[in-house]
């Protein structure tokens, strides 16, 4: 059973609130809701994605785009610990006298690394070798873990929010049986995100994994045992995390023949663990139907739990174009914020989640009682823009056809836009001239110096083949590409590479 967003508690009648509260289990009401904001001490601006935890525990949350946070704690007083890459770690007390609207300021901290090593591929490759080796040692000691999760999914057409969906779930992972997620509370303004293949709950990505599921593909993670064969790593610079040093590395694909990411990863010195990753699928990656385009950034932070580094959040943002059953729809903007807390490792797991083959299941009894949402306790605060959109969507929920209606309607029998593999060009492309050889030389921070030659060979008006061959000094290997492009009908295209 799925819940539509209820009217917020503050506009309900007192008698209604009393009835709702009496229906909530006592442990849920025993929690104390600590609220506040994390600011940059130098600028006074809110810090997004700061990690706020109860000191000495795995209970925590992350701040929203404005730096605001809400955290349920069992009792007061508690000490909050706040961490953010590039800042000194700070602590704040939440007491029975003051536990709401706390202001926590983080002091920027800069760590300078000698210029001789910045941009050197060998340094970055050596760092990643140590990261991969350290991960394998830690994973050998990990049998199981569990955590509590929260996700808010927001879909927008241009700047207009068309859907908001939230869920609370339990996460389980077993070395032999894999991951499971059990939804315990859920509400949404509509359910058409399911037709788009975008679950509002579950499937929180783990960018630290060897393989990362994205839209039907198993993407090769940057800490895969063979990551150095698939990726070129370059040291971009350093930042501080508390008193420790963090290395920021550029990540770029070495080949267009595998589903890979591009972006950055951040590595904590001395322990050689990922503390943050910002990645998106490389442009050469073709996604299967109904996904026509998926230009979405995946951002994730990691923290140690008894020596094992596990994800504590996931933030997705970007533009996507999905057309289920080839229904003409316009692209949309996707924002998802997920948090994981209360981690426990190497503990017994319940058997119920593994009794079914599905990775994500629903605890119907828990969803019916819905204690978290009935008391109005958002785990990650909404921004003012999301709050205004929620009020509008409560009054008039959107349908898929109305939310993502194309700018111009095309009859299905005239829809000749072609195969979903017809995507943007490869991640590293250089100019070629039809029917003639064309040489190119360029420089960027990923390739270094690139010398290339290519050719496009036309066969009639509809078919053309192309090839490209180059040597990138920064990647220290030959880059190559071969592909074809076929046109049919009134603009239909089919491309393969």
> What distance in Å separates the CA atoms of residue 154 and residue 392, rounded to the nearest whole number?
14
Query: Which ranges of 151-304 does DSSP label H, i.e. alpha helix?
Result: 227-230
The per-residue DSSP string of 155-178 comes to EEETTEEEEEEEEEEEEEEETTTE
Please report the pLDDT score of residue 372 as a whole number.
Answer: 52
CA dist., res. 207 & res. 107, Å (int): 28
User: What was the pLDDT predicted at 210?
Assistant: 96
pLDDT for residue 243: 84
Give the CA count within 13 Å in the CB-facing half-sphere of 485. 15
Q: Which pLDDT tens digits describe the chain residue by residue (497 residues)?
A: 455 554 333 333 444 444 444 444 444 445 788 999 999 999 999 999 899 999 988 888 999 989 999 988 888 999 999 999 889 999 999 999 999 999 999 999 876 555 445 555 588 999 999 999 999 999 999 999 999 999 999 999 988 999 999 988 999 999 999 999 998 888 889 989 989 999 866 678 999 999 999 999 999 999 999 999 999 999 988 998 888 899 999 999 998 889 999 999 999 998 999 999 999 999 999 999 999 999 999 999 999 999 999 999 999 999 999 999 888 899 999 999 999 999 999 999 999 999 988 888 887 766 655 555 544 445 788 888 888 998 899 889 999 999 998 865 545 444 433 333 333 333 333 333 344 566 666 555 444 566 777 777 776 666 777 777 777 665 555 666 676 766 655 444 555 55
Alpha carbon distances (Å) from 169 to 70, 164, 193, 291 = 17, 17, 18, 26
H/E segment holding residue 16 = helix 14-23
Helix (H, G, I), strand (E, B) or coil at 205: coil
Query: Read out DSSP for 40-86?
Result: ETTT--B-TT-EEEETTSS-EEE--TTSEEEEEESSS-EEEEEE-TT
**Does residue 82 contact residue 61 with C-beta atoms inside 8 Å?**
no
Q: 3: how many CB neighbours lie within 10 A of its CB?
A: 16
Q: Which of 338, 407, 333 is nearest to 162 (CA)?
A: 333
The rounded distance, in Å, linking the Cα atoms of 213 and 239 is: 29
For residue 219, the model assigns a pLDDT of: 95
Q: Are 394 and 161 in contact (CB under 8 A)?
A: no
pLDDT of residue 58: 82
pLDDT value of position 158 = 87
Phi, psi of 330 (to 5 degrees): -85, 160
Residue pair 180/354 in contact by the 8 Å Cβ criterion: yes
How far, CA to CA in Å, does 227 sit from each of 127, 132, 169, 254? 12, 9, 31, 10
Where do the domains of the chain lie? Answer: 31-106, 121-400, 413-496
Contact yes or no for 205/212 (Cβ under 8 A): yes
Question: Domain 31-106 is of which CATH architecture?
Answer: Sandwich (2.60)
Cβ 413 vs Cβ 422: under 8 Å: no
Q: Are 94 and 81 in contact (CB under 8 A)?
A: no
Q: What's the pLDDT at 261?
A: 96
Q: Read off the pLDDT of residues 193-249 as tens digits, 9 standing for 90 and up.
A: 989 999 866 678 999 999 999 999 999 999 999 999 999 999 988 998 888 899 999
3-state secondary structure of 340: strand
Q: How far apart are CA 279 and CA 300, in angstroms?
A: 9
Q: pTM of the entire structure?
A: 0.75
Beta-sheet pairing, 3-4 with 178-188: parallel
């Amino acid at each position: 059973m799925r819940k539509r967003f209820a009217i917020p508690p503050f506009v309900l009648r007192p008698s209604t609130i009393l009835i709702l509260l009496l229906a909530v289990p006592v442990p849920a009401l025993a929690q104390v809701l600590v609220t506040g904001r994390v600011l940059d001490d130098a600028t006074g601006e809110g810090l997004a994605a700061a990690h706020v935890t109860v000191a000495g525990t795995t209970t925590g949350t992350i701040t929203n785009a404005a730096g605001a946070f809400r955290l349920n704690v069992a009792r007061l007083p508690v000490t909050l610990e706040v961490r953010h890459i590039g800042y000194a770690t700070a602590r704040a007390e939440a007491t029975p006298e003051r536990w709401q609207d706390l202001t926590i300021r983080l002091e920027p901290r800069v760590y300078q690394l000698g210029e001789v090593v910045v941009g050197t591929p060998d340094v970055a490759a050596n760092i990643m070798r140590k990261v991969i080796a350290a991960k394998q040692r830690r994973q050998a000691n990990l049998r199981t873990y569990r955590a509590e999760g929260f996700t808010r999914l927001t879909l927008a057409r241009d700047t207009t929010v068309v859907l908001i969906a939230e869920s609370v779930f339990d996460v389980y992972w077993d070395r032999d049986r894999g991951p499971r997620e059990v939804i315990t509370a859920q509400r949404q303004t509509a359910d058409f995100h399911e037709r788009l293949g975008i679950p509002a709950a579950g499937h929180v990505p783990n960018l630290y994994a060897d393989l990362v599921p994205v839209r039907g593909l198993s993407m090769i993670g940057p800490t895969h045992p063979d990551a150095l064969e698939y990726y070129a790593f370059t040291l971009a610079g350093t930042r501080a995390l508390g008193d420790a040093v963090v290395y920021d590395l550029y990540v770029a694909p070495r080949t267009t023949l595998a589903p890979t990411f591009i972006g950055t990863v951040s590595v904590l010195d001395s322990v050689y663990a990922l503390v943050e990753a910002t990645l998106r699928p490389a442009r050469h990656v073709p996604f299967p139907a109904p996904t026509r385009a998926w230009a979405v950034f995946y951002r994730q932070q990691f923290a140690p739990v008894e020596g094992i580094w596990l994800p504590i959040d996931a933030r997705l943002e970007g533009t996507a174009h999905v057309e289920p059953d080839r229904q003409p729809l316009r692209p949309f903007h996707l924002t998802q914020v997920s948090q994981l807390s209360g981690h426990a490792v190497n503990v017994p797991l319940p058997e119920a989640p593994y009794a079914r083959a599905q990775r994500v299941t629903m605890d119907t009894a828990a969803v019916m009682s819905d204690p978290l949402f009935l008391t109005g306790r958002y785990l990650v605060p909404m921004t003012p823009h999301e709050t205004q959109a929620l009020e509008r969507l409560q009054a008039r929920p959107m349908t898929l056809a109305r939310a993502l209606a194309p700018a111009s309607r095309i009859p299905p029998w005239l829809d000749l836009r072609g195969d979903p593999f017809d995507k943007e060009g490869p991640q590293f492309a250089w100019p070629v001239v039809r029917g003639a050889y064309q040489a190119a030389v360029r420089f960027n921070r990923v390739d270094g110096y690139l010398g290339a030659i290519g050719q496009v060979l036309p066969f009639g008006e509809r078919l053309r083949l192309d090839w490209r061959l180059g040597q990138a000094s920064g990647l220290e290997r030959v880059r190559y590409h071969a592909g074809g492009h076929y046109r049919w009908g009134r603009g239909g295209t089919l491309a393969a590479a």
